[in-house]
Structure 1
Amino acid sequence: MIRILLVDDQQLIRAGLRMLCDAADGMEVVGEAGDGRAAIELAARLVPDVIVMDLRMPGVDGITATSRIVAARPAARVLVLTTFGDDDHLYPALQAGACGFLLKDAPPDELLTGIRQVAVGESPFSQDVLRRLVRRAVDARPEPRGRVDGLTVREREVLGLVAEGLSNTEIAERMHIGVTTVKTHITALMTKTGSPNRVRLALLAHRA
């Protein structure tokens, strides 16, 4: 069971998210917070598996709350869910320790998938957000450090789908293989290319 803390200053949004999560298999909303200060307190007391965090809130905002939550418990998993997908919100949230970033106009299934991904250690991003991360990384790094020499045909196929911004589940469905197999390929790709995360893998794929 994935235990979830919802953080948003709008009660109607929290109510909708609670209904969505509680109706999903294997999920339980264990708390709600209307601002960052309450989120910090509840995160410490409830120790949820996933914290769904809004960014713009009165008082303590979501970025500050994320930073304090992760500082107190580095294993905390924060999934940002916001209306604002611009760089002024994206990069500070990631620097604060958020492990995923979705927009509020995402389909319900994408949000549920994102929560499940965060719970098992993955980092979901809206596709336009991931493309922007890769584009910025491409502009900042004229040459990638990793190489794609020695990759198998299957690994190259997985690498291409990572570059499209697909999650492990979506890659598994596209390639008609198991999610565990996809994870094995991703691990091998990171090892062979020296890439520490999916964004670097996507950057490498675009450069190659």
Structure 2
Amino acid sequence: MWRVMIAEDQEIVRQGLKVILEQDANLKVEHDVDNGQQALQVMEKFMIDFILMDVRMPVMNGIEATRQIKKRWPDVKILILTTFNDDEYAVQALREGANGFLLKTSDSKKLLEAVYSCMNGGLTIHEEVAAKVMPRLLGNSSGKTSTDVDLSPREGKITYLVGQGKTNREIAEELYLSIGTVKNNLTRILQKTGLRDRTQLAIFAVKHDIGE
């Protein structure tokens, strides 16, 4: 079972999200907080697997909370909740290591799908705003150019599939590899490219047109 924390400053929204998430037997909302600082305090005391993070919160917003949490607990998955007016925040969140963002207008099915995608290593970006956000990310992504990176054929295929938003399990199934092998290859790919995380690698793959 995945241990979940909801960071959202509106109590009625928190309670609604909790009801939706706990429809799934694999999800247990163990903590809900109303600002980023409280989210950090929970992280210091408890084991958390997944955080549903609002952007605009008092005391500490979701972007700063994401930055600090990812720096200290990089394996924790964070899905940002956003609105159309929060595009800039969404871009910042992805640069800070968030595992994706979803519009607050999404239905419960899409929310649960996004949670599973994040937990399985995917990059979830709501399709209605991806077209607006991705060009900005591609224009500012870090890392070496594709000609500077000597990827093996397998590493190239894995990088391509990451850019397609595939999870580790989906990559393993498509390439007939174990999930452990995929993870080991991803570690080497990040070292070779000089990138920080899977989000940056996905952006790198698209920006440099990494093919199959």
Alpha-carbon RMSD: 3.8
1:111 is paired with a residue of what secondary structure?
Answer: helix
Q: Distance in 2 between matches of 1:65 and 1:205?
A: 27
Question: CA deviation digits over 1:54-94, x for unaligned, max 9?
Answer: 01134543234445x539x8126361421236552024335
- Residue 175 of structure 1 deviates from its aligned partner by 4.3
- State which drifts further: 124-133 or 35-44: 124-133
1:171 paired residue number = 171
> What is the match of residue 102 of structure 1?
101
Where does residue 145 of structure 2 map in the other structure? 144
Corresponding residue for 2:53? 53
- Report the CA distance shift for 1:10/1:50 in structure 2 as closer, same or farther (over 3 A): same
Indicate the residue corresponding to 1:81 in structure 2: 80
> Does the aligned pair in 2 maintain the 1:131–1:165 contact within 8 Å?
no
Given that 1:163 and 1:206 are in contact with CA atoms closer than 8 Å, whether structure 2 keeps it comes out as no
Task: Name the CA distance, whole Å, in 1 between partners of 2:156 and 2:58.
Answer: 46
- Maintained 8 Å contact 1:4/1:30: yes
Aligned 8 A contact 2:52 2:78 in 1: yes
Instruction: Confirm whether residue 39 of structure 1 aligns to residue 39 of structure 2.
Output: yes
Local SS of the residue matching 1:23: coil
* Residues in 1 aligned to 2:139 and 2:97: alpha-carbon distance in whole angstroms: 23
8 A Cα contact 2:7 2:34, kept in partner:
yes
Percent of aligned positions that are identical: 25
Q: Residues 130 and 148 from structure 1, CA distance in 2 versus in 1: closer, same or farther, beyond 3 angstroms?
A: farther
User: CA 1:12/1:101 → structure 2, altered by over 3 Å: closer, same or farther?
Assistant: same
Any idea what the Cα deviations from partners look like across 1:101-148, whole Å, max 9, x if unmatched?
A: 22133713322214524xxxx573416577777644553479716645
Matched pairs, number: 200
Distance 1:21 1:8 in 2: 14
Aligned-partner residue type, residue 110 of structure 1: E
Cα 1:190–1:28 shift into 2, 3 Å: same
- Distance across 2 between alignment mates of 1:48 and 1:182: 24
TM-score (normalizing by structure 1): 0.69
CA–CA distance in 2 between the matches of 1:206 and 1:29? 36
Aligned match of 2:190: 190
1:203 to 2:186 alignment:
no
Distance 1:132 1:6 in 2: 26
Q: Distance in 2 between matches of 1:52 and 1:28?
A: 12
Structure 1 unaligned blocks of 5 or more? none
Unaligned runs of 5+ in 2: none
Q: 1:161 to 1:133 in 2, by over 3 A?
A: farther
Counterpart of 2:13 in structure 1 is: 13
